[in-house]
A = this chain, B = another copy of it.
Amino acid sequence: MGMIGGGSDAMIGAVHRRAAFMDNEIELVCGMFSIDPEISKSSGLSYYVPEDRIYYSWEEMLEKEAALPEGERMDFVTIVTPNRFHFAPAAKALELGFNVVLDKPMTFTLEEALQLREIVNRTGKTFALTHGYSAYPAIREMKKRIADGSIGKVRRVYVEYTQGWLSKRIELKGGNNAGWRTDPKKSGKGGCVGDIGTHAWHLVEYVTGAKVTELCADLLQVAEGRPIDDDACAFMRTDKGFTALLQATQIATGEENNIRLRVYGEEGGFEWFQQEPNTLYVKWLDRPAEVIRVGNGYLSDKAKWVTRTPGGHPEGFIEAFANIYRNFALTIRARHAGEEPTADMLDFPGVEDGVRGMQFVETMVQAGYDPEKKWHKWIEK
């Protein structure tokens, strides 16, 4: 693995690295960790990257690595830069033959996303997008059971993602991650809707297998003077006939990172909370609710595939992230060996999720500021 971004002054880069390292399938061999050469160098050294493979520009890195003999050059590159710097290195890496892991939202604009899709499809390289929450074992179990019809036809979904860390305009103080996230020039059209709304939307499509077809939304700029949405909600319709209610906020004072997903079918309903991710509740009409706990023998193989510890030994966010990395690595390895990756290996978000994520933001922004509040068709472009 090579890395673009993720210097010692960044947060999410460390999650990526730990997720990549945990299963011993991946090692960090090179990187351009910061646009500040000092930081890139010191970060690389502290990550035990050989000095000659610490780079100071991503173009240089991609070219030099591509020039290395196979087996020596990196197998894939992880790009964890702010999202307006996603497209260019990702595109170039793919064109040079590298597999790519990208953080979400996939690109700065929908146009870039569509272009990237074209490149991924044309080059045939393996591409992953780190929608980490969808990789929790309990979410996999929910997806499997819904697909198996255990709760009957899905009729109603509620998803909420509540954070409070942007309650105050801390972006004005600097020294935190709020700066680029609340600046439309840096984050793209969406604020909250792009940063966390995309995760909430993705969970809905992931666990149900449905696609949102139209939505009616409200985008709010709650903290006084903030030039971008910090709260978003939407009524959503899907191609499987059910509706969903989505809410995402970053101004729910005192909330940490509170994702709650509920899916109700004709016969039963699921409930899951990200902050206690190893528990999945199933509710029934005429009998007691059940508490499914990750790590137990009664879980599906689909969930077991992404489980590392027995019941009662909690797994967390880094493990969920690691599930994407491990599947990605195993897929690359299989393809390299000329084998077909299994369905379980291939179960990581890809470029299609990335495109739809950008379409989601586009549609939410269009609908959310529409004073008429009418139904807006999903923007395919």
Contact = CB atoms under 8 A, between A and B. Distances in A.
Interface string A282-309: 1111111111110111100000000011
Range, interface on chain A: 35 or more
B289 A264 contact: no
Contact of A309 (B15, B267, B274, B308): B15
A28 B287 CA distance: 37
Contact of A374 (B233, B274, B372): B372
A296 B295 CA distance: 28
A296 B163 CA distance: 13
B220 A293 contact: no
Contacts of A158: 160, 247
A11 interface: yes
Given A167-B266, A318-B315, A283 B253 contact: yes
Given A15-B309, A316-B309, A253 B151 contact: yes
Nearest to A299: B288
Given A158-B247, A235-B218, A267 B253 contact: yes
A238 interface: no
A256 B293 contact: yes
A252 to B, nearest CB: 5
Contacts of A281: 291
A313 interface: yes
A316 B294 CA distance: 13
A256 B297 contact: no
Count this chain's copies in the assembly: 4
A265 interface: yes
Interface string A244-261: 010101011111111000
A281 to B, nearest CB: 8
A255 B18 CA distance: 30
A227 interface: no
Contacts of A253: 151, 264-269, 283-285
A347 B296 CA distance: 32
A275 interface: yes
A28 B21 contact: no
Contacts of A255: 264, 269, 283, 312
A337 to B, nearest CB: 14
Among A15, A47, A318, which residue has the most Cβ atoms of chain B within 10 A? A318
B308 A168 contact: no
A276 B274 CA distance: 12
A11 B310 contact: yes
A340 interface: no
Contact of A318 (B286, B290, B295, B308): B308
Contacts of A315: 316-318
A196 to B, nearest CB: 11
Interface string A315-341: 111110000000000000000000000
16 contacts: A156-B251, A167-B264, A216-B373, A245-B247, A254-B283, A255-B264, A255-B269, A255-B283, A256-B296, A256-B312, A257-B310, A275-B312, A290-B290, A313-B317, A371-B375, A373-B374
Which 5 residue pairs are nearest across A and B when measured between Cβ atoms? A254-B283, A257-B312, A256-B312, A316-B316, A288-B290
Given A256-B311, A288-B298, 17 more contacts: A14-B308, A22-B318, A164-B285, A167-B266, A167-B285, A218-B235, A254-B269, A255-B264, A255-B312, A286-B297, A287-B290, A288-B291, A313-B316, A313-B317, A316-B319, A371-B374, A373-B375
